[in-house]
Structure 1
């Protein structure tokens, strides 16, 4: 809260082939949340944890961010790689989310591989929980984590979307 004023975040809505995405940005142009329409309540809950007291107002995200999201869904699967994201979260959660961003588009990792990537190979369940608390879907690609046996496991945006995102990235 700069100057004691609540932070203002902007909520934009961007059309994609798998439904509208909710794109939340801050005044510096960092992405604070991304989720699919229909999951706005979940996104709002996560934002309350990551940006307590922030005011969410409808508006337009910076054009460069909109273009990156549109480019990703149009087939440039690396268009989101350089975007700046900002979240709250514990040091452990942030390490998991950083490890997610290190998974290249078109590849997947198991929860065990994710835990090992952050140097905590026994923290498989904790890594899975952190994955599920990620407020920035797609850009912090939690959809790239699958079960140890290769099956698609839960995804906050729905398994059909997860399947689409993985197939989309495999084509890219």
Structure 2
């Protein structure tokens, strides 16, 4: 469903963060990776029907847990976050995209990116203006993680996968 390079890169980055969080919490990394990979799969082709199209496809394939997590990956949709998978997807989506954007404007990229730099950029409403800051904070709260700890976790995952994600 997704053809655009930018959205594909975002999907791959969120997939890696989700797999790492699955390992962190002792969950199944492939299921979490798939949720991260597919969370915005229908957005480019059907933005007005997002995420309903991909949720329908996943439900038809018997992937209810992944479908539900994707249906709940934005808090303003009002879908209850029942599982750790649901919460981790909210926590990983916006912040991963934001950290990638912040790394792209740094001379050293994701390497040696400090948490304080990400937090400073978060306060700058004009930087990556499409990123919903409320989702960033809500995601960390859903996972019951301090924001600094959550940001560092994502930085570390992106750094570990920088060549694969085009951040090298």
The two structures have a TM-score, normalised by structure 1, of 0.29
The structure with the greater share of residues assigned to strand is 1
The structure with the greater share of residues assigned to helix is 2
